[in-house]
Structure 1
Amino acid sequence: MKVLSTSFGLPRNEGDPSSDAFAVRAWDQTVIAVLCDGAGTGTPAREAAQRAVSTLIENYSARPRSWDPPRALTEFTRILNRSFYQESIARYERPEMVSTLAAAVIEGNRLYGVNLGDSRISLWRNDRLFTLSEDHVDDDQRNMLTRALGMTEETTPNVFHIDLEDGDVALLCSDGLSNHLEPEQIDNALRQRSSARSLVHSALLHAKTETMDDISAVVLDIQKTGQLRAMSERALTIPETLAKGQVIDGYELIRSFQGTDRVWLAEKEHQRVVIKFAPVEATSSEPHLNAFVREAWNATRVQTEHFVRSHEPAGQTLRYYVMEFVDAPSLCSVLRERLLSVDSALALGHFLAEASQTLLRLDLAHGDIKPENILCAGDYARLTFKLVDLGSAVELFSISSRAGTASYLAPERFHGAPISERTEIFAIGVTLYQALTRKLPYGEIERFQTPVFSPARGLTKLNPNVPPWLETVVRRAITISPERRYQHYSELLHDLRNPAKVQPFFEHATPLVERISPRFYKVGFFLLLIANLILLLKLISTH
């Protein structure tokens, strides 16, 4: 396969940032091009366009093997749309992160596309220009979008495909180009194999002051198509029962984990691994199947030292994924025997914040941070950690997810608030509190309770080894008021790394006597002592 790509864009006003974003990536016999136009000139729209481009390309390049291109483009577009909408509501109380979307994927000899809004995808072939996408605009007011990323919580993207021929040319462009060039002009330019830069400058020449807009284009010159890759891999079945000694694709099942027969310790070629099988319900329930596919996808694309490494073996015959076996107890098991030292608790805090930042880069939140999902390796003096169970991982700002364990849920989650960095920080704080005291700051909470939260008892009263600055960090992480909590993982990490810069923090209900620094009492004591000595000396001199 031989595909030459060019891309270029110009902002509405020279020197200003553009609300358009675009990128192209190629690997093996796959090329993906994405172009987005933020709906407006504000920062949220520009951020939406940039994130949509990078996220869609990253997600597609790591798509679940069981999803064909149309399914992957549809699912990823819906995830992006819901994420932008819910984040807008959380941050701005109205849809602000809104963008058009035009994406084209070339695999072998076929082009797959998806679009929302009025950014177009066209194909030139044999002196004819075809528009493959749909314009989602109002019939009377053509500048009003009827569908776009982030405009509503749910949307239906336009998904299509077409077989390719050698010599075809695909064009992705924003409305800044399609509004200023006639189809005949675009047809003529593509006939001459014009670059994206040439097309954009041509549109700029035809633009008027009152119609000026950001202008962007991506041109894919398909000089030679590849052989269509075999997408019809053997369907993966889901076993109803599993038993010790059973051999699956070379893996021998040794024993089941976690009180379920869907997670097994297995061995292949003298190497032990953990295998997680899809639930039996996924055989007849598409939501269960989609949830497992997404879990496997999340697990296999998170490849850092903070997580257990996972993969889907080539040639597998059943629906499962494989994880490395880490022979280490959970933090929950460790805490049954002893508290963590202050140094180990600090290492745990750094680890959880960094692991959460890794997920953040994928627009994900773990959703169920707690001691049961943290493995502890090493000895008493030096512990290292692994975060497990990405089955609860969800997109940030998800409001439909019920992920999480009640005792670690931020108070606002009980009232329908979305999952965010600050709700995850609450779970990190509760975990640190428990690691240092073996107690939960707000006690055991049942899932269907609507608890009443009162300020937690101070850490130093339960563990005098905890330094005051660390108590302040944990107190701020688990504060009842979400506005006063750390808003971002980076803020939490900054304080963990810079004890001398930690600012005092108290709950609103904390008595004044506890808010005053001990240093105040010490200074006051010496000042009163000096005053009394002066008075005593005056009294003696008088007599």
Structure 2
Amino acid sequence: MSVRVVHDLRVEAGFATQKGRRPDNQDYVALCVGPSGAGALQGVVAAIADGVGGHKGGRAAAETTVRAFIDGYYAQPETLGVARAAARSLEAANSWVAAQSRVDPALEGMATTFSALILSRRNAFFLHVGDTRVYRLAGDGLERLTKDHTFGRGDFAHVLRRAVGFEDSLLFDHGQHSLNLHDRFLLCSDGVYGVLPDDRLSALLAERRAPQETSEKIIEAALATGSNDNVTALVVDVIDVPPADERALSQAVAGLPIRELPSIGDVVDDFQIDALLSEGRYSRLMRATDRQNGKAVVLKFPHPRVADDASYRMAFVNEAWVAARVRSPFVGEVIELLPGRQSRLYSAMPYYDGETLERRLRREPRIDLAEGVSIAARLSRAIATLHRCGVIHRDIKPDNVILLKDGGLRLVDLGVCRAANLENLPEAHTPGTPSYMAPELFDGVAGDEASDLFAFGVTVYRMFSRCYPYGEIEPFSRPRLTKPLPLALKRPDLPAWLDATILKAIGVERGDRFGDVLEFAFELENGSARAQPLTPRKKSLYERNPIIFWQTLCLLLALLLAISVFRR
């Protein structure tokens, strides 16, 4: 089944349940979006319960708890927030089940385990008691979000310590995680994970079949492996998440202090700082390990000297805002941290294993035609993706392009980007790096697709030549761009059509450039396909050995002079 919730949260889900070798099925599972009009804050609820065996009314306890929780949750006012509304609903369900077990002899001792997953806007919440489980598959890594409430040792290893209905007051676990695109969640009973270890569950979930098919495959695998219990699995896929709210981002950033730059070995908000990646005038990039999940990340810390610079704070808002709206394998991501975790201003990004284009172009061998066209084609897709979303990057350069070891590419650093719903930088702040900036930007133009194309063209020119077509431009200077230096002077081994194509992209007049970056990329790719294999030109004696050239020339001149004197 597919569910769409307002504010662009969209999930797909499926579930399967069987009694297995038990005489009846005491598991109960449900997924609900709520009544008409709900969903703005309350979101999607997925819940699973497993009636406690050996007690009367196990199935009744499971079904009653799930239904009462869902009904109670959606009946709460949205102003309570997800966590408080869910807690109140579960406590009410527990009170009702505990009371029924005392007053109804047919339901004496009724109890159940319970786990619920609530997806609301850009967050995932869970509540849990007992030994049903909630897992999350993010990328290829499976993470268990819940902890079993069992004794865990000896003959009592599987005996429950907590369950709905055991006592009038309920002690349950709860938590919150950021919700990411393509997250996959699994709710299951002990009949499933009791015979299928985490690596097997991870493999089944990683196949990325439809949720309904995946849940059925998990049930089949559990029964085939010999499960003696009821088996239930519910799979939820996150298909789309709503964008972050720019106003909320601005308020969050405004309240964060800028502190002294950290050093290697420091721990910041449970991030272990491992290495220094780069040091700039305004920020420091450091590789770190998130001790909460063991993943490598990159943290970007502002320098204390910009503490009073409102435009620099705005850059953090811009990056987070764009990252929430633009999803592409060619554009860098920003990790959204849970509320309350961040104690100072910085941004967190995934660690991309590779090198910047700037570093690549500085080392040997020099980038040849095939490699350069391949890089340009991938970079054009990143820029075109931004442009389709109404975002102008405004700082395209080799330093902001990461070439991944697996052949991928990421365009990063969207701090000075421009978009319709973003507050722009103050007029005093000209965005971009001068040597890559189109002429119109020096005249105060805010930047558009044509100026991004210019920067893209300069990037491609420099990728092949290691030079700037109009020379290196110093900050705060106002250059007079005339005629660019032909690429052939620096790379005579490259074809003439490549030189002409790049020079068109970096035309001083906007009307002389290509219509968009994809047109430029098309010319690069097709020009490469039409070109004949290059035959290396034989180098002249001057290029091979200038000393011998001049010695030979001097000898010839001396001979000519001697002949001239002799004839007189």
TM-score, scaled relative to structure 2: 0.44
Q: TM-score, normalised by structure 1?
A: 0.46
